[in-house]
Chains A and B, each alone.
Chain A
């Protein structure tokens, strides 16, 4: 059988990071090809290259043995490549038929032919085994699974020969997943190839034909049999890094150290349930889990940015009112959020203003700011944390990811935080600067701050934390000292629910 798609030696560099470093991928017509890899392995970048959103710096792409340039999403669509993302790219207020034919509506003399669109849409949906979806309904009123089917119908309306599905099962119930699989089988029977990305091994076993494993931006194995390859071997391939991060040595948390943060039976329907943990002064607690496991949601609820449905949070023994960020801040809790740029920083403002924004009252008398005191305090911290380039008057936008993260940390240091919540503290931070951030976090802990760390990178959680809580689908499936569990076991837990 000849390959429908050949990608060879794909390289993609971003400033400061080589996201793809020689990736190979072969996909045959009519197969379900699974793409496995940890966060940061390069899956999303590869998909963006394939769908024309990114241009590779090196490498070759062939479709049906013909070299192609996919220099825009339109070019990829014309070559028969379509993608279905986790966040569906549908227009909620348009009807099913309008969404399916968006951008290539059946029309005559510029007037759209609604009837024809509806008929054609119905035919496509029928082909997918979902004739029950009314073509005149607005897409926003359909459940997630229905929207996904519409997304696939749209791909088919463009005669897609290869459909990329990025974690399609993440938004679906088990029953809907088996429905999805039925649709996928229908597609492959017609010769359409599917590139299937999922973290759930049991799904890959069920629907997949072959597996390609990515690690650190390179293909480490390709053409593996999806049903026969042992789980152990797959995880072995995904783990173990070529770049070893340097983690600072742990300092012993004194048993007598007081419990600073207490989280009891915290729940939010649809996000997580029954989460409870304690963090002592000087301790780093890591939350590990996949995207959608509820890890960031837990953190934001502890901070009061989301309102807990049940349960409560105690800081130094005092219960925080749920859903009140100001209370948490007042009690000495700080959050370095996941989306640094949109949730933490005022990008066009000077570094010192970003550092002092949570402590403004301290630099003011009757409302008037003492600019010099403010600048001095911020400078002292910026120097201590080695924010580069030096100087607190430049806009934060000019700093690299790692230095921006330091600015966020400095903000909470200035407040003398009791509890620091860190959500993906090294996202967008290049490899060299990571060790610095790690050392900084550990130093904070040894100064008596209680730290909760969330990261999608398992080695980071294990290397930095004292204790780990593993989350799977909104529930804690394991709690214990970080040294007593390894990366394989964590991956087993989050992917299959047991060790």
Chain B
């Protein structure tokens, strides 16, 4: 999977001496941009092998990393769309919590037990999408800045989750649900399959459809998009609904992994997701975004956690390392952007 197709094709640029071809050109192409992330991930793995080789480089551990990455990965794909479209969504963690609680209430579970687990899944998706819709309407038509609108959703969605669950962890008793989502397909956990599916669908949507192209336009220059006849407000709503939907999917995955629904699920997911999106190369100011980069960003952070955990280092040390990675990644990106813009 590469984003090469959207960047200048080689034969075109060769016939144009006016465009400088240089090392930075290569780095700027989708391949080059992701190359840095691949190198970072490989380095991280080498550190893991060196410090905890016997436990790190096992098939079981790789699956653990992927399973952990899957949930936050799905959230980050949704976040990539919102950020590329010029917004931000701080409420993703709270939406995951609310969706997980709503999908595991006694009533929903009863329904699922009587008929099919699909009722739990569709509840989670509907709750996520509905929260996203509220976010989108507030931002696009209420003209509330995204930071504030989604901050409000963060507070109220988690509060609502606490009310519904009475702050109790809701255990999932529907066996068929656990069987399906806890299982594996060709040796790969279903959760990881879902992540791959969502990432692939996100990549196609962003790079191959009119929806994706309009997302870049709205995020890059909303005024120009409006004057070009794009329905900017409606599009903005759709982006937040998409992010909410991803949170619903993530909630289902988290329910499967923990076999619970809880108002404490998804704590600080917003920070993890934004960090993964940003180090992946998506511009926080909008207009430029990459799903492949986001996937790598998620993998880097999850692997980092894994390496630290295997070496019995504290969560606090992990946080420091994570902060350092974000700063270094963004500094590198900015330098690259300055050199390639050239003005």
Question: A interface vs B, CB < 8 Å?
Answer: 303, 305, 325-326, 328-330, 335, 337, 342-350, 353, 357-358, 360-361, 363-364, 367-369, 371, 389-391, 393-394, 397-398, 411
Contact with B224, one of A344, A389, A393 (Cβ below 8 angstroms)? A344
Known: A325-B229, A342-B223. A369 touches B8 (CB 8 A): no
- Give the shortest distance, in Å, between B282 (CB) and chain A (any CB): 13
- At the interface with chain A, which of B14-22, B37-45, B87-95? B14-22
Please measure, in the bound complex, the distance between the C-alpha atom of A364 and the C-alpha atom of B214, giving whole angstroms. Answer: 13
Q: Of B211, B213, B226, which is in contact with the most chain A CB atoms at under 10 Å from its CB?
A: B213
Complex partner residue of A393 from B8, B210, B288, CB under 8 angstroms: B8
Residues of the A chain whose Cβ atoms lie less than 8 Å from the Cβ of B210: 360-361, 363-364, 367, 369
* Complex-state Cα separation, A369 to B341, whole angstroms: 27
Interface centre among A342, A346, A361, A389 (most CB of B within 10 A): A346
Whether a CB of chain A sits under 8 angstroms from the CB of B208 is yes
Among A326, A348, A368, A369, point to the contact of B287 (Cβ < 8 A): A348
Rounded to whole angstroms, the CA-CA distance of A163 and B221 in the bound complex is 37
Q: Which of B209-232 contact A (CB under 8 A)?
A: 209-214, 216-217, 220-221, 223-231
Q: Considering only CB atoms, which chain A residue lies closest to B220 in the complex? A: A346
CA distance A345 to B220 in the complex (A): 9
Q: A335-B227, A346-B216 are in contact. Are A367 and B8 (CB under 8 A)?
A: no
A348-B223 in contact (CB<8A): no
Assess A346 versus B224: contact at CB under 8 Å? Given A367-B209, A389-B19: yes
Q: Which of B209, B226, B288 contacts A325 (CB 8 A)?
A: B226
Instruction: Specify the chain A residue showing the minimal Cβ separation from B221.
Output: A346
Kindly list chain B residues whose C-beta atoms are within 8 Å of the C-beta of A337.
227
**In the bound complex, CA of A228 to CA of B13 (Å):** 62
B209 touching A342 by the CB < 8 A rule? no
**Residue B9 CB within 8 A of the other chain:** yes
B228 and A348 form a contact (CB under 8 A): no
Beta-carbon contacts of B222-266 to A below 8 Å, as 1s and 0s? Answer: 011111111100000000000000000000000000000000000
Q: With a CB–CB cut-off of 8 A, which chain B residues contact A411?
A: 228
Contacts of A368 in B (CB 8 A): 204, 208-209
Tell me if B186 is interfacial: C-beta within 8 Å of chain A.
no
Chain A residues, Cβ within 8 Å of B225: 346, 357
Task: Report whether A344 and B208 are in contact in the complex, using a CB–CB cutoff of 8 Å.
Answer: no
Q: Does any Cβ of A come within 8 Å of B312's Cβ?
A: no
Residues of the A chain whose Cβ atoms lie less than 8 Å from the Cβ of B209: 364, 367-369
Measured between alpha carbons, how far is A303 from B229 in the docked complex, in Å?
10
In the complex, B60 has a CB within 8 A of chain A: no
Residues of B near any A CB (own CB < 8 A): 5, 7-9, 12-13, 15-16, 18-19, 204, 208-214, 216-217, 220-221, 223-231, 287-288, 341, 343
Kindly list chain B residues whose C-beta atoms are within 8 Å of the C-beta of A342. 221, 223-224
Instruction: Find chain A residues with CB under 8 A from B231 CB.
Output: 326
Note all chain B residues with C-beta closer than 8 A to A391: 8, 12-13, 15-16, 19
Chain A residues lying within 8 Å of B230, measured Cβ to Cβ, are 357-358
Q: Is A329 touching B208 in the complex (CB atoms < 8 A)?
A: no
Q: Does the CB pair B223–A353 fall under 8 Å?
A: no
Residue pairs across A and B with Cβ atoms less than 8 A apart, 26 shown, are: A326-B231, A337-B227, A343-B223, A344-B227, A345-B221, A348-B287, A348-B341, A349-B216, A357-B213, A357-B225, A360-B210, A361-B210, A363-B210, A367-B210, A367-B211, A368-B209, A369-B212, A389-B18, A389-B19, A390-B15, A391-B13, A391-B16, A393-B9, A394-B13, A397-B341, A398-B18
Chain B residues, Cβ within 8 Å of A361: 210
Could you tell me if B16 and A390 are in contact, using CB atoms closer than 8 angstroms? yes
Partner of A371, one of B5, B221, B288: B5
Q: Are A389 and B228 in contact (CB under 8 A)?
A: no
Q: Are B227 and A346 in contact (CB under 8 A)?
A: no
A394-B220 CB under 8 A given contacts A326-B231, A369-B209, A389-B19: no
Contact of A360 with B214 in the complex, beta carbons under 8 Å: yes
Complex Cα distance, B16 from A363, in Å, reads 27
Bound-complex Cα distance A346 to B12 (A): 21
Residues of A within 8 A of B220 (CB): 346-349
Closest A residue to B288 by beta carbon equals A348
CB-based contact B224/A305 at 8 Å:
no
A397 contacts B343, CB within 8 Å? yes
With A342-B223, A357-B213 given, name 18 new contacts (CB 8 A): A305-B226, A344-B227, A346-B221, A346-B224, A346-B287, A349-B220, A353-B216, A357-B217, A358-B230, A360-B210, A363-B210, A364-B209, A364-B210, A368-B208, A393-B9, A394-B13, A398-B18, A411-B228
Give the Cβ gap from B20 to chain A, nearest Cβ, in Å. 10
Q: Which 6 A-B pairs have the closest CB atoms?
A: A329-B229, A389-B18, A393-B8, A360-B210, A346-B220, A367-B209
Looking across the interface, which residue of chain B has its beta carbon closest to that of A305?
B227
Q: How far is the CB of A376 from chain B (nearest CB, A)?
A: 13
Q: Which residues of B contact A353 (CB under 8 A)?
A: 213, 216
CB distance from B334 to the nearest CB of A (A): 15
In chain B, what residue has the closest Cβ to A345?
A: B224
Residues of A within 8 A of B287 (CB): 346, 348
Q: Are B13 and A326 in contact (CB under 8 A)?
A: no
Q: How far is the CB of B140 from chain A (nearest CB, A)?
A: 15
B228 contacts across to A, CB distance below 8 A: 329, 344, 357-358, 411
Question: Once the chains are docked, how many angstroms separate the CA of A135 from the CA of B212?
Answer: 52
Cβ of B209 to closest chain A Cβ, rounded Å: 5
Determine the residue in chain B with the shortest Cβ distance to A361.
Answer: B210
Complex CA gap A348/B230 in Å reads: 18
